[in-house]
């Protein structure tokens, strides 16, 4: 087992290679989609296996793979999938780098105030002037410090690979050059070496423009909406007079905008208040740019792009919808869509619905956020991009999408609701293939055979669970642009603001097979494979579920209750033993995790860990009563993409029958529970009642054939050799009433009644 590969990051997404695009457009692509971008690397090896790169449009970080050979200042073309790592958007892992050599034009730091450090400048090289460090002493590696401008503060991240480590923290005003990064909810600047932190020298004059009290950077945008007056302040950040020469408006609707900005001299550290007036005479969107002249030579003119709306209080409606919706990324656990841009559209709203076409339509003058419901569908994406990756995808689902083009924001949206781009795609199911070739449940070497099949596998660090299972699978959308996670033990749905953070949410990575039961305990320093195995880890509420469960066995509480939270209970089983009982819908999942760990690491359930009395028969009962659903199938496929191994007890109904987990040996007698009961427990038909489409599945196995009869015994529909894990029956021609469907599986036949409305 010690030969298992340990890695710092391993994320697999399968998508078609995208055409090369600029970085600003690449930042709009859906997570998991592959991008190819060209830019200049603004750091080298001093920050480790990551390169921040930017072109004339935006910045983006690139991590891993061949990126480590790139030097600061190189012009590079990078290919790889997008991920979000603790809030930072990255191309990771980089699959290909083309190094064009040192760039002819090197990026210059964008001079900004602390308040402008946000998502729009992420990964770009910036300079912040006239700030001081809060801390004193010497810089340490991989540590975070704070700069302060008298009102606002910002994190400074010092990497252990820089020559800043061990040097004195400056005590006076400084100017700091750095890359805009993000860690969880906090933005930060990341200096690269000693040259990036210098004593502040006040410029002779420096223009800065605020609109309604907030800095709008040169060549920045401001949405006026229907405001007739906008307050503008021109600041001089220098020590001597800033001479403002006046203003001009340019653009398609320049005549609708006026301003009282005129020639003036603004003293050092002084400011002057003005207004911009907006007077539309027609409907639709208005666009104009104000150019403010001054003696600040590097920002002359200082340009701000205004957008307003006309007399109908709506932006201009796009002239054509998006089109050509395709799905280049498709797995059991994720999917990604791409579409061709509409005409005259600046933004798109993507709706998602499972099971049937979308009938919902967005309403003008309404601002929607990801996760909001519009009628029968949920918002999966909203933004300027032409691709999306919805969250919460599970296996064997028919997902329907509608893409609406629109313009405007802040309650002035105008949606084109005719002829939206639509499409549907079914997420994949179990992809077992020939994984179990040669494995027989009748073989006396079954436990050893499964052990050899599962191992060796790729080890993913316990500390990367947030990036893998949480960010890429467990976190789902809810209303108001927020997210939620589910405690698998209690059923709690915890709502939070992105990005996900263990401490902020009070959640933890629960070892279903407890850490203290492992032979190698403590197995976390260094990390052992059994400690990090993601098949065994689930998210739980730390105080209300993880800690009460601790390392007690799982069981059914019938006696005295020690502690309970929602659907999770700590108490006594019928024998008086202290056990923890999770919610019913997780019992099978938890059982299969423990059974997997027993076989994967040669554990036994007798005499080798703290709970000598973990009842294997109870786990087997839970396994059959709560067979794998589409969530667990999707989770299994995602972990398979990471670790390269599978949980046999998710893929097979019967493997658990033929193993005595107390001794981890073969049990030739099989289970006491009959196969008919197993099939009955795992037979699912939905929706109930049904209408046009009836979905049928037997969790954990495939359907070989089926036969539908009405209540008079007449055959309505049948098919042989379908070999499907999810059966879709077109019932649109069925008359309303009750029907019986009988399906044949590799384990026998089972039938059930269903209703068509």
Query: What is the CATH T-level fold of the domain 110-199, as seen in this structure?
Result: OB fold (Dihydrolipoamide Acetyltransferase, E2P) (2.40.50)
Whether 207-309 and 110-199 are alike in CATH topology: the answer is no
Residue 545 contacts residue 490 (beta carbons within 8 Å) = yes
Tokens of 70: 């790139």
Q: Where are the beta strands (DSSP E) in 134-216?
A: 143-148, 153-158, 174-183, 186-190, 197-199, 207-211, 214-215
Domain spans of the chain?
A: 17-102, 110-199, 207-309, 332-426, 446-666, 675-756
The predicted pLDDT at position 180 comes to 98
The predicted pLDDT at position 605 comes to 65
Residue 3 in this model has a pLDDT that exceeds 80: no
Over its C-alpha atoms, the chain yields an Rg (Å, rounded) of 30
CA–CA separation, 273 and 260 (whole Å): 10
Residue with token string 């509480």? 557
Residue 671 in this model has a pLDDT that exceeds 70: no
> Residues 6 or more apart from 528 whose CB is under 8 A from it?
1, 518, 520
Of residues 384 and 1, more confidence is placed in 384
The predicted pLDDT at position 748 comes to 80
- Could you say which DSSP state residue 573 is in? -
Beta bridge partners of 175: 198
Residue 37 contacts residue 29 (beta carbons within 8 Å) = no
Share of the chain above pLDDT 70, in %: 95
Predicted confidence band of residue 133 (pLDDT cuts 50, 70, 90): very high
CA–CA separation, 188 and 190 (whole Å): 6
Predicted confidence band of residue 606 (pLDDT cuts 50, 70, 90): low
Across 16-31, average pLDDT: 79
- 505-509 long-range contacts (CB < 8 A, ≥24 apart) are 506/541, 506/542, 506/543, 507/539, 507/540, 507/541, 507/542, 508/539, 508/540, 508/541, 508/542, 508/546, 509/462, 509/465, 509/537, 509/538, 509/539
Query: What is the CATH T-level fold of the domain 207-309, as seen in this structure?
Result: Immunoglobulin-like (2.60.40)
Predicted confidence band of residue 169 (pLDDT cuts 50, 70, 90): very high
The predicted pLDDT at position 683 comes to 79
The predicted pLDDT at position 9 comes to 36
> Residues 6 or more apart from 674 whose CB is under 8 A from it?
none
Task: Please give the span between the terminal C-alpha atoms of the chain, in angstroms, as a whole number.
Answer: 56
Residues, the chain, total? 757
> Residues 6 or more apart from 712 whose CB is under 8 A from it?
none
pLDDT tens digits along 377-429 = 999 999 999 999 999 999 999 999 999 999 999 999 999 999 999 999 999 99
Give just the sign of the alpha carbon dihedral 651, 656, 659, 660.
positive
The predicted pLDDT at position 13 comes to 39
> Residues 6 or more apart from 297 whose CB is under 8 A from it?
none
Query: What is the CATH T-level fold of the domain 332-426, as seen in this structure?
Result: Immunoglobulin-like (2.60.40)
The predicted pLDDT at position 756 comes to 85
> Residues 6 or more apart from 415 whose CB is under 8 A from it?
317, 349, 361, 362, 363, 364, 404, 405, 406
Residue with token string 């019913």? 584
Across 6-32, average pLDDT: 64
Residue 11 in this model has a pLDDT that exceeds 50: no
pLDDT tens digits along 280-308 = 999 999 999 999 999 999 999 999 999 99
Residue 18 in this model has a pLDDT that exceeds 80: no
Residue 636 in this model has a pLDDT that exceeds 90: yes
pLDDT tens digits along 504-519 = 999 999 999 999 999 8
Residue 4 in this model has a pLDDT that exceeds 50: no
Tokens of 174: 């400084």
Burial, 715: exposed, middle or buried (Cβ in 10 Å; 0-12, 13-18, 19+)? exposed
Count of C-beta atoms within a 10 Å radius of residue 439? 16
Predicted confidence band of residue 603 (pLDDT cuts 50, 70, 90): confident
Share of the chain above pLDDT 90, in %: 79
Residue 349 contacts residue 343 (beta carbons within 8 Å) = no
CA–CA separation, 296 and 240 (whole Å): 11
Query: What is the CATH T-level fold of the domain 17-102, as seen in this structure?
Result: OB fold (Dihydrolipoamide Acetyltransferase, E2P) (2.40.50)
Residue 86 contacts residue 97 (beta carbons within 8 Å) = no
CA–CA separation, 293 and 299 (whole Å): 8
pLDDT tens digits along 681-736 = 667 787 767 778 888 887 667 888 999 988 777 888 999 988 887 888 888 888 88
Closest to 415 measured CA to CA, from 508, 328, 492, 318: 318
Buried b (16+ CB within 10 A) or exposed e, 339-355: bebbeebbbbbbbbbbb
Pick the CATH number of 675-756 from 3.90.850.10, 2.60.40.1220, 3.50.50.60, 3.40.1350.10: 2.60.40.1220
The predicted pLDDT at position 681 comes to 64
Angle (CA) 46-52-53 rounded to 5° is 130
CA distances (Å), origin 603, targets 202, 451, 530, 664, 673: 68, 11, 10, 7, 24
Mean pLDDT of the chain: 92
Strand, coil or helix: 162: coil
Predicted confidence band of residue 362 (pLDDT cuts 50, 70, 90): very high
Residue 164 in this model has a pLDDT that exceeds 50: yes
Q: Where are the beta strands (DSSP E) in 416-530?
A: 421-426, 459-460, 476-477, 483-486, 493-496, 507-511
The predicted pLDDT at position 17 comes to 43
Residue 204 contacts residue 241 (beta carbons within 8 Å) = no
Across 267-275, average pLDDT: 97
Burial, 440: exposed, middle or buried (Cβ in 10 Å; 0-12, 13-18, 19+)? exposed
Predicted confidence band of residue 1 (pLDDT cuts 50, 70, 90): very low
């Amino acid at each position: 087992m010690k030969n298992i590969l340990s890695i710092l990051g391993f994320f697999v997404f399968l998508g078609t290679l995208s055409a090369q695009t600029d970085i600003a457009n690449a930042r709009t692509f859906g997570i998991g989609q592959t991008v190819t971008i060209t830019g200049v690397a603004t750091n080298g090896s001093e920050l480790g296996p990551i390169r921040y790169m930017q072109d004339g449009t935006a910045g983006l970080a690139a991590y891993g793979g061949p990126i480590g050979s790139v030097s600061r200042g190189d012009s590079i073309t990078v290919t790889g999938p997008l991920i979000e790592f603790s809030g930072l958007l990255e191309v990771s892992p980089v699959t290909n780098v083309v190094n064009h050599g040192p760039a002819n034009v090197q990026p210059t730091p964008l001079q900004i105030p602390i308040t402008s450090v946000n998502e729009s400048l992420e990964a770009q090289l910036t300079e912040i002037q006239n700030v001081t460090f809060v801390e004193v002493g010497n810089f340490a590696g991989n540590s975070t410090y704070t700069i302060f401008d008298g009102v606002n503060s910002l994190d400074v991240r010092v990497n252990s690979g820089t020559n800043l480590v061990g040097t004195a923290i400056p005590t006076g005003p400084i100017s700091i050059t750095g890359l805009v990064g993000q860690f969880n909810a906090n933005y930060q600047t990341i200096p690269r070496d000693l040259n990036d932190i210098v004593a502040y020298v006040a410029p002779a004059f420096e223009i800065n423009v605020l609109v309604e009290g907030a800095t709008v950077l040169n060549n920045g945008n401001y949405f006026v909406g229907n405001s007739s007056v906008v307050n503008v302040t021109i600041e001089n950040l220098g020590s001597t007079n800033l001479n403002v020469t006046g203003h001009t408006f340019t653009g398609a609707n320049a005549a609708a905008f006026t301003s009282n900005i005129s020639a003036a001299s603004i003293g050092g550290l002084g400011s002057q208040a003005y207004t911009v007036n907006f007077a539309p005479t027609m409907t639709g969107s208005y666009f104009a740019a104000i150019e403010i002249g001054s003696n600040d030579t590097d920002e002359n003119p200082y340009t701000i792009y205004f957008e307003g709306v006309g007399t109908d209080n709506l932006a201009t409606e796009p002239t054509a919808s998006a089109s050509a919706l395709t799905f280049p990324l498709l797995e059991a656990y994720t999917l990604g869509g791409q579409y061709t841009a509409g005409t005259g559209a600046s933004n798109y709203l993507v709706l998602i619905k499972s099971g049937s076409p979308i009938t919902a339509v967005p309403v003008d003058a309404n601002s929607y956020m990801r996760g909001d419901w519009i009628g029968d569908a949920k918002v999966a994406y909203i933004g300027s991009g032409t691709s999306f990756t919805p969250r919460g995808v599970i296996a064997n689902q028919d997902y329907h999408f509608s893409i609406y083009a629109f313009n405007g924001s802040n309650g002035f949206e105008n949606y084109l609701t005719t002829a939206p781009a639509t499409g549907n795609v079914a997420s994949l199911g179990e992809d077992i293939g020939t994984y179990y070739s040669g494995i027989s449940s009748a073989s006396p070497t079954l436990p050893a055979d499964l052990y050899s099949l599962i191992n060796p596998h790729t080890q993913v660090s316990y500390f990367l669970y947030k990036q893998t299972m949480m960010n890429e699978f467990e976190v789902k959308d809810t209303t108001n642009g927020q997210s939620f996670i589910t405690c698998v033990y209690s059923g709690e749905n915890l709502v939070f603001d992105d990005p996900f953070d263990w401490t902020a949410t009070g959640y933890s990575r629960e070892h279903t097979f407890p850490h203290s039961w492992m032979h190698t305990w403590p197995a976390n320093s260094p990390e052992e494979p059994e400690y990090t195995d993601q098949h065994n880890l689930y998210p739980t509420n730390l105080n209300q579920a993880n800690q009460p469960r601790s390392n007690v066995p799982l069981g059914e509480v019938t006696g005295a209750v020690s502690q309970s939270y929602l659907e999770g209970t700590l108490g006594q089983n019928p024998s008086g033993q202290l056990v923890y009982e999770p919610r019913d819908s997780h019992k099978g999942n938890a059982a299969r995790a423990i059974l997997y760990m027993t076989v994967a690491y040669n554990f036994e359930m007798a005499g080798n860990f703290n709970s000598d009395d973990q009842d294997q028969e109870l786990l087997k009962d839970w396994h059959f009563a709560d067979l794998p659903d589409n969530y667990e199938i999707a989770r299994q496929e995602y972990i398979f993409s990471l670790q390269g191994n599978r949980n046999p007890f998710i893929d097979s109904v019967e493997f658990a029958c033929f193993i005595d987990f107390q001794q981890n040996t073969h049990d030739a007698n099989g289970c006491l529970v009959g196969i008919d009961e197993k099939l009955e427990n795992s037979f699912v038909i939905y929706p109930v009642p049904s209408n046009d489409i009836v979905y049928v599945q037997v969790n954990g196995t495939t359907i070989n054939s089926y036969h539908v009869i009405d209540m008079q015994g007449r055959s309505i529909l049948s098919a042989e050799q379908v070999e499907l894990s999810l059966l879709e029956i077109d019932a649109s021609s069925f008359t309303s009433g009750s029907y019986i469907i009988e399906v044949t599986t590799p384990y026998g036949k089972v039938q059930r009644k269903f209703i068509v409305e």
